Structure 1
Amino acid sequence: MICLSAGAFALALATPDFTLEWRHSVTRTLWWERWRAGPQGIAPVAARLTGPGAGMEPPPDAVWRDGAWHFTPRVAPQPQVVLATSGTTGGGWTLCAQDACHPLPEDQGPILIAACSTTVP
């Protein structure tokens, strides 16, 4: 289960798997990551980007396929992930899980995502 919070906004999803998608604020390149929650926290398990941007270069082992660089991030599980928004992209983060996508609020401050220890009834 994953939990999100941002200001007065809160969302709990009864799934360990989710994706995040956003655009680079300058180059407008699309970035997509698939994440998985587990006992040690949450970690990205797959990623792709449509082109480089400041701080968004594909790693050396990335493979170009279907119009994007695909790779496996090498990041240890994190207790939480903090998403920030610049307000300059014309859209913020989109989180998808269980066949539903949720645009995340851009004006509520940082967005926190963590694995939840509470189960949904």
Structure 2
Amino acid sequence: MADKDRPGDDVPGDDEVFADASAGGDVPDDGVDKATGSGDTALAERSATSDSPKAKKRRGGPIGRVGGFFREVVSELRKVIWPTRRELLTYTSVVIVFVVVVTSIVTSLDWVFGKGILWALG
């Protein structure tokens, strides 16, 4: 895949935005309300409408919210790129080998230090 085909490459970087601004181009809106100087105006509009009675009705009670949570979990799990069987076996074997090696190092160090303490205090 070429570098230009990656997602998000069509978004201008800071250098391009500032170069456009210095050349007299339009600067993208940063979401700050120019009149009040407060933060994201879109966020403020959304939060004002989400407390309406209609929004509360759509959310439902606790059971509706739990159901919505699980629907979102399933939706996110569908987006996951799951490993193939071969990849899973490779990853599992690497983890098992690593754990065996680290365990053997810790066991041998424990044995050596134990013998050293017994010899010194012995």
TM-score greater than 0.5 by the shorter chain: no
Which structure has the larger Rg? 2
TM-score interval for Structure 1 and Structure 2 normalised by the shorter chain:
under 0.3
Q: TM-score, normalised by structure 2?
A: 0.14
Q: TM-score, normalised by structure 1?
A: 0.15
Of the two structures, which has the highest relative contact order with CA contacts closer than 8 Å and spacing of 6 or more? 1
Q: Which has the larger helix fraction?
A: 2
Q: Which has the larger strand fraction?
A: 1
